[in-house]
Amino acid sequence: MTAIISAAELASALADAGPDDAPVLLDVRYAMGGPTGRPVYEAGHLPGAVYVDLDTELAGPPGAGGRHPLPDPAVFGAAMRRAGVGATRPVVVYDGGQGWASARAWWLLRYTGHPDVRVLDGGLAAWEGPLTSEVPEPSPGDFVPRPGGMPLLDADEAAAVARRGLLLDARSGERYRGETEPIDPVAGHIPGAVSAPTAENVTAAGGFRPVEELKERFAALGVHGDAEVGVYCGSGVSAAQQVLALDAVGVVAGLYAGSWSHWCADPARPVATGPQPG
């Protein structure tokens, strides 16, 4: 089963499902460096969708682990149960359209053992059905996180993947090359990593490119056969979108959750600049 669901498929699933087996809907709209997505959620969201905050529920406090370290499993589990997430009931996650935040929620749920999670392709912008400002009060779910369901990389493992496999840098090309760094204190990339901006995984309309186009893109970047693949970005959010795109073409990739914000916090770690992996 693909982890990406179209708006039409979601509408059909909601129409056909009973009250006890309809997908749990999570609204995770988020703007990097901007205000919480709660106000836009309250202004209008998919009927039944529950808002989940990326900064406080899909990430831990910024610090030694990076700008968006993984949340404490207990905190994440409580947030998911509050939203009505059960151990086996399907979950569909959506954001404003870029796929970053929704992929982060998808990855966390899959990493902690949920078997059935999908991302709405194109986010809220792709939805043609009704919206509501009514905030639901779902019955508490019974989901209990059990970490380990997806490959997770630390700094040393990411460096090793860059040497023996393929480590993809999901940030913009300018940040990869070290020409600009608007967020973190050091510019550049992990030596050996290949530039692979997440913007190239989606179309101008905001949805993911067709599977065959994604296969061609990743093949051109060096993804082939049984090659080990890892992904990082600035703080582990947009990289999840790349992991999702790779999953769509049948490639399981490890996520360096701390990403560049964690890597460059240690001055002993090497930094490369320029267009080549280095």
The set of catalytic residues is: 233
- In the chain the first and final C-alpha atoms are separated, in Å, by 37
Q: Give the separation between CA 239 and CA 221, rounded to whole angstroms.
A: 15
Element (H, E) at 14: helix 7-16
**Residue at 42: amino acid letter:** E
**Residue at 204: amino acid letter:** A
Q: Which residue has the tokens 């909601």?
A: 14
> Across the beta sheet with 152-153, what order do the strands follow?
152-153, 254-256, 229-232, 166-169, 194-195
Quote the radius of gyration of the chain (alpha carbons, Å). Answer: 18
Burial of residue 200 (number of CB atoms within 10 Å: 0-12, 13-18, 19+): middle
- Tokens matching residue 65: 């682990």
Helices 238-248 and 100-111 pack at an angle, to 10 degrees, of 70
**Residue at 103: amino acid letter:** A
